[in-house]
Structure 1
Amino acid sequence: MKPRSGSKYKVIGVMSGTSLDGLDLAAVEFYYNDGKWNFQITAAETVAYGHDWENRLRGSTELSGEKLILLHADYGRFLGKEIKWFMNATGFIPEIIASHGHTVFHQPEKYFTFQVGNGADIAAETGITTVADFRTGDVALGGQGAPLVPVGDRLLFSEYETCLNLGGFANISFEQNGKRIAFDICPANFILNDLVRKLGKPYDENGELGRQGTIDNQLLEKLNQLEFYAQNPPKSLGKEWMDSYFSPVTEESNLSVQDKLRTAYEHIAIQIAKATPATGKVLVTGGGAFNTFLIEQLKTHSSAEIIIPEKQIIDYKEALVFAFLGLLRHLGEVNCYASVTGASRDSSSGVIFPDGVD
């Protein structure tokens, strides 16, 4: 069903990132007028994972088939309960819930990707139609199943030439020859948080620990020479790539953790600068936008105009965009670009789980 001019839709978007820094919930009103989309985030919240959930999600790749299916159901019910709490706290009752889930496996070259958080359980818990499982449709069409946010970049943030997200991985989105191009660049918070945990901290606040280290050119060169960086997009990253290619390089080094951390900052800034168009405005979102030292390094290596938006957009852009993708799926509109993922065609991706009420 095509949106009519003057239409308004209420959606809750739910996002859990690879860095396990919490569950993002965004209550969003979308407006469609004269062929253009606008939005307003009316409420947003991040729910920190308790130790139990953090450990279960972190260990999810090691589970047996039976235990993985159990996690899929349990996490779906957990999401449903958190969404109900959010609805009660805000008074925001959506027409649709859009949940990304938490990625456990992502191997599009083998035609599979898997995010736990069963949409049927969310719909059952909340009584609201839920859209989930956004990536498998594109992967089945030969695509990477990622990144998916560029649809929102193009339709909701068109005033910026480039959109850069600094989450577990850094990914980028921009227009090129009339098509949207996007891809994962390199690890960001995923590797920074992993290193900082060895120092007993959950994350590197303002980059102060990294700032104290020294760049090791030998390690930096090894990281910059990883084969992924020479590949042309479409391309995407996941935990499997980190475990197989990136982490072994840092782990075999005898450097101090702080020197590894400082070298990782330099590596991230170099790779992002190489991937970013040289001119125009770059909208930076994701948790890494709060990392003062990382942003300083980006500005050192890039000639583009780096723009840090208001805190709510930094924190909740991905939850906002997945709310939008869920709405587009509900409307039967394209929400996944083949030019981004490499799929055989554009698609309207995501599985719709009705609320069960006629």
Structure 2
Amino acid sequence: MIKTKYNVIGVMSGTSLDGIDLAHVTFELDSIWTFKIHNAETISYTEDWKEILSNLVNYKWESLQHIDDDYTVYLSGVINDFIHKYQLNTIDAICSHGHTALHQPENNLTYQIGNRKQIAELTKQNVVCDFRIQDVEFGGQGAPLVPIGDQILFAEYDFCLNLGGFANISFEKNNNRMAFDICPVNIVLNHYSKKIGLEYDANGGSASEGEVNQLLLKALNEMEFYQLKFPKSLGLEWVNSNVIPIIDDYKLKVKDVLRTVVEHIAIQINNVLKLQSNASVLATGGGVYNTFLMNRLKDLSEHKIVLPSEDIIEYKEALIFGLLGVLKLRNETNCLASVTGAIRNHSSGIIHTF
């Protein structure tokens, strides 16, 4: 049934493995879409799950199926706890990203765990999920998926920049939404922070004490990915096979690695922001709490970089996956060909009823 008001739970798990983001959101359509985030929280992964999820690309297919089974049960439990905690009685759908296990669009392959029909049965809720598969079948990258939400909900900004496991960006060009992954961020910073006993480099403190290694910086900036035209996307496999080996070859102190990677991130993001002048940039994602990184970005950029309210900084992706689910329920476009490279705009995702 097509309505103008929807209550949904957006669910997101990203490559930085911070945890599972859940947001209870009401979307309402009255000439334009508006939203209200009622409750939102992040459920941290256990160390066991972090270990499993960080190594998904190394498992054989049969093992991945077993992990998918376990993760679906685990994710359903997390969602049920959220529903019970906030006494959510009237939910139109759970709109879930799942967690990326494999993302190789060039091989016509993308696989998200936690998107099985069982999740609807265990939560006793309708579920909209698996938003990437159809796009890859249509010749697209299957990513990024957030830009249609940027276009609909945050149209007042020239750029929407997200700093999570990867930096990605979206913007309007010639009346089309453009979007792509820029470079790795937390997925690399956290990898090296763990080597000195830190889950992450809080405020960029360790990076700020390091020195830029110019040879490493040059090697990172010259990686082939940065020469490719968009649309383009990144995955853990690419980081493991391209970025980590380059960094490890230099055998640097961790604080110098972190300092050099921060500089690399700031340079690559600024290279993209140069596409426009005097622009407003909405910055979200956990990376905005890296004060040192944000200061380096501001030092290099001429643009006004805006940090929104904390719930949008932290839960924008969960919010937008909620919107993607709503658009799918309405059979409306939620995946843009201009962004992913697919053959056409389409309404992506699978609806599971309980």
TM-score normalised per structure 1: 0.96
Mapped contact 1:103–1:116 kept (Cα < 8 A): yes
CA distance in 2 between partners of 1:189 and 1:170 (Å): 9
Deviation at 1:62, TM superposition (A): 2.1
Q: Verify the 8 A CA contact 1:278 1:302 in the aligned structure 2.
A: no
Scaled by the length of structure 2, the TM-score of the pair is 0.97
- Are 2:48 and 1:47 equivalent residues in the alignment? no
**Residues 225 and 258 from structure 1, CA distance in 2 versus in 1: closer, same or farther, beyond 3 angstroms?**
same
Q: 2:27, 2:69 → 1: CA distance?
A: 30
2:155 aligned with 1:158, yes or no?
Answer: yes
State how many pairs are aligned.
351
Q: Offset at 1:130?
A: 0.4
- Aligned twin of 2:11: 14
Aligned to 1:339: 338
Q: Distance in 1 between matches of 2:47 and 2:260?
A: 30
Distance in 2, Cα, partners of 1:254 & 1:84: 46
Pairing 1:1-358 to 2, within 5 Å after superposition: 3=3, 7-34=4-31, 36-93=32-89, 94-276=91-273, 277-355=276-354
Contact 1:73 1:118 in 2 (8 A): no
Matches of 2:92 and 2:16, distance apart in 1? 29
Contact 1:99 1:119 in 2 (8 A): no
Distance 2:143 2:198 in 1: 30
Quick check: 221-230 or 243-252, which moved more? 243-252
CA positional deviation for 1:254: 2.2
Amino acid at match of 1:261: L
CA contact (8 A) 1:111 1:140 kept: yes
Unaligned 5+ segments in structure 2 are none
Indicate conservation of the 8 Å contact 2:56/2:102, yes or no. no
In 1, the alpha carbon distance for the partners of 2:150 and 2:294 equals 20
**Deviation of 1:229 (Å):** 0.3
- TM superposition shift of 1:330: 1.0
Write the distance in 2 (CA, Å) between the matches of 1:110 and 1:294.
34
1:201-260 deviation digits (Å, cap 9, x = unpaired): 000000000000001111100000000001110000001111111111101012211111
The answer on whether the counterparts of 2:141 and 2:233 sit within 8 Å (CA) in structure 1 is yes
CA distance in 1 between counterparts of 2:239 and 2:66 reads: 26
Sequence identity of aligned pairs in percent? 50
Q: Is the 8 A contact 1:2 1:333 kept in 2?
A: no
Give, as a single letter, the amino acid of the residue that structure 2 aligns with 1:56: I
Decide whether the 8 Å contact of 1:151 with 1:337 is kept in 2. yes
Stretches of structure 1 lacking an aligned partner (at least 5 in a row): none
Q: Quick one: distance in 2 between partners of 1:67 and 1:233?
A: 33
SS of the equivalent of 2:161 reads strand
